[in-house]
Structure 1
């Protein structure tokens, strides 16, 4: 598993190296971009600013930081980035190191979870292969939160399957410190607890299930102390990314118009088309999980889709699919029963994965 992980990392680093030559800095074809420049785009800047300067540098309020909306990002990753930076003096390598180690942990945990669901000795390796070659796999290799979140969330789910509720709650709390998605995981684990608790000893673990909410409460309290707004995180999301509530059909209509309407000339249409496809895949997965009566996983996916599908438009759904571990396990199970699926998946997805990687590494929007 780790060899496969390392080989795919080498592939992404090679793609990054080539991208800096194909898309040189400043438009000067004679000058390639700096070596680490391909990894320094979009959300990485927010995490860097938080880790280096804090949320409110110089006691600045949110009215002075509207341009970056840093309150929208949970503190787990920036805090760890600041800690690692005390040992590794350069910020970008520190962020890459976090994602590299966290990704390895996530891969090992994903393989173990897959073996619980698919009765085949190759299930873990096949699941990891599909996961690491998924369209948005580039985000596991950059200074983003996906790898770190999964490094906590997947072991938490594994612990929950083994009814180690204290460990599951603790790891989920750490996941919540990284992304709001940790609360969706907490809800799924709580449902799993309700469905599987049998003995009095099991029910004594019930108070642990409140622990994952603590990071979100503490972060909201911190923001309220500085802004006077308990919902500062949500309002920052609304300012920066139009994450105001809209009905699912309104969100779909806005995304469809952006994918196939006037924005086709802006270069963003492709990404909105990817958002629509990812939402379709997510809904199909949700329906499949419901049919299989896998209620906790369905609850997790359903909450994720509701959160992502009720904004002004769809945004970051392809990237969020990295967090849908039932998807990769389901695909692996199908491919083990029908070997042709593996070849179809690799041939169709590999070009898309490369396009997403080059898009992000060249500084264009990739979800």
Structure 2
């Protein structure tokens, strides 16, 4: 009797990737799914905000503008310093109120500031009548978004359960952290730039490009972010030819500066009006890197300026050295997109007459905070040393800024 062979098992069906659905491409970055690690980061962010606002409240009482004052200044007055006035004037009056402009005596060169933050301030002001409160609210909300994105980027790079919280801790206790709470551009820029970078890590190029375009409307640093995104895309597309379909999206960030330049040209006849305003108001005309270093060194150590300004120029030099060290580390580790971002930033900051706002710019160097967190996870004493040094410096810079002195 013949016995039939058992039936051959059917071959498994070939794996087919799910069909591409463009609408869902936005969800990985924009979806709100806070896990325990995210909640810990937000709690840390809230605690540091309480600390900064408590410091600002003490400043109102301890350092009044009138030493004989019997009443403290208004609650928000310590935050209305320096660049805030430019953003306020633009949001309230526009760039060229009453036909005033660079041709007007005593002009404040407000066209040196990009429109992203003033437009956001004007929009929030329609709901929050007090301008200073509106600015504080923007920075508070934007800072929360920024730290969540930073924590997620850190967890993407570092396989450690505490990587995100540790990275955010380094940022929030950094010497110039007060500017994340002030009505300045740093928090809003990070709230756009860090999710853009996170989207790029997830190969979500449309979202990355849109967010980078918005970041370019807030700070010129957005252009350096866009350059880093292009390099990251090219390195990714070299391994996946299908990725080139998204290449046109990476042209989008150039739209923001192009539109602003067009607007300024229509009003002033000068396509580079923003750059010329920077040169007039802040000495940001081109000098070689060694000239810029020499001028800053003289301002810091040759007793040419009051001690408060000299100390801040010393901080500028230290921040530039920190940036150069970070750039070297990124190059040695072949982190080319991040190295390009940092390198372009240092070139822009290091080729003016002298260094200006380099310490503040460290807030935007997310590879620095991730690198420090990684180092501290290998060597716990790094965190202890950082907290013992950075936290007092952060308090000093905060008081310096909140009392109306030049800081960062």
Give TM-score scaled by structure 2 length. 0.89
How far the C-alpha of 1:28 sits from its partner, in A, is 2.6
> For 1:184, which of 224, 230, 240 is the aligned residue?
224
**Is 1:345 aligned with 2:386?**
yes
Equivalent residue, structure 1, for 2:48: 8
Cα distance change, pair 66–297 in 1 and its aligned pair in 2 (3 A): farther
Secondary structure at the aligned position of 1:283 is classed as helix
* Contact 1:66-1:239 within 8 A present in 2 as well: no
Instruction: Tell me which moved more, 112-121 or 262-271.
Output: 262-271
How far the C-alpha of 1:66 sits from its partner, in A, is 4.9
User: What is the distance in 2 between the residues matched to 1:325 and 1:195?
Assistant: 20
Q: Specify every segment of 5 or more residues in structure 2 that has no aligned partner in the other structure, as ranges.
A: 1-40
* Contact 1:145-1:178 within 8 A present in 2 as well: yes
C-alpha distance after superposition, 1:240-269 (max 9, x if no partner): 100010000000000000000123534201
> For 1:85, which of 102, 106, 125 is the aligned residue?
125
> For 1:68, which of 94, 108, 115 is the aligned residue?
108
How far the C-alpha of 1:27 sits from its partner, in A, is 3.3
**Is 1:227 aligned with 2:244?**
no
Secondary structure at the aligned position of 2:122 is classed as helix
C-alpha distance after superposition, 1:310-347 (max 9, x if no partner): 00000100000000000000000000110011000000
Equivalent residue, structure 1, for 2:177: 137
> For 1:215, which of 232, 256, 265 is the aligned residue?
256
User: What is the distance in 1 between the residues matched to 2:77 and 2:71?
Assistant: 13
Secondary structure at the aligned position of 2:351 is classed as coil
- Give RMSD over aligned pairs: 1.0
**Is 1:253 aligned with 2:298?**
no
1:27-46 superposed matches below 5 A: 27-46=67-86
Secondary structure at the aligned position of 1:263 is classed as coil
Secondary structure at the aligned position of 1:211 is classed as helix
Cα distance change, pair 326–66 in 1 and its aligned pair in 2 (3 A): farther
**Is 1:320 aligned with 2:361?**
yes
User: What is the distance in 2 between the residues matched to 1:185 and 1:194?
Assistant: 14
User: What is the distance in 1 between the residues matched to 2:307 and 2:263?
Assistant: 39
C-alpha distance after superposition, 1:128-148 (max 9, x if no partner): 000000000000001000000
User: What is the distance in 1 between the residues matched to 2:105 and 2:162?
Assistant: 49
**Is 1:106 aligned with 2:146?**
yes
User: What is the distance in 1 between the residues matched to 2:242 and 2:62?
Assistant: 61
User: What is the distance in 2 between the residues matched to 1:345 and 1:199?
Assistant: 41
* Contact 2:292-2:355 within 8 A present in 1 as well: yes
* Contact 2:139-2:184 within 8 A present in 1 as well: yes
Secondary structure at the aligned position of 2:87 is classed as helix
Secondary structure at the aligned position of 2:98 is classed as helix
**Is 1:363 aligned with 2:400?**
no
Bigger fraction of residues in helix: 1
* Contact 2:109-2:277 within 8 A present in 1 as well: yes
Equivalent residue, structure 1, for 2:285: 244
C-alpha distance after superposition, 1:43-80 (max 9, x if no partner): 00000000000000112222227532110000000001
Give TM-score scaled by structure 1 length. 0.98
User: What is the distance in 1 between the residues matched to 2:105 and 2:391?
Assistant: 39
* Contact 2:101-2:107 within 8 A present in 1 as well: no
Q: Specify every segment of 5 or more residues in structure 1 that has no aligned partner in the other structure, as ranges.
A: none
User: What is the distance in 2 between the residues matched to 1:32 and 1:254?
Assistant: 39
* Contact 1:23-1:33 within 8 A present in 2 as well: no
User: What is the distance in 2 between the residues matched to 1:63 and 1:153?
Assistant: 35
Secondary structure at the aligned position of 2:228 is classed as helix
How far the C-alpha of 1:180 sits from its partner, in A, is 0.4
How far the C-alpha of 1:207 sits from its partner, in A, is 0.8
Equivalent residue, structure 1, for 2:195: 155
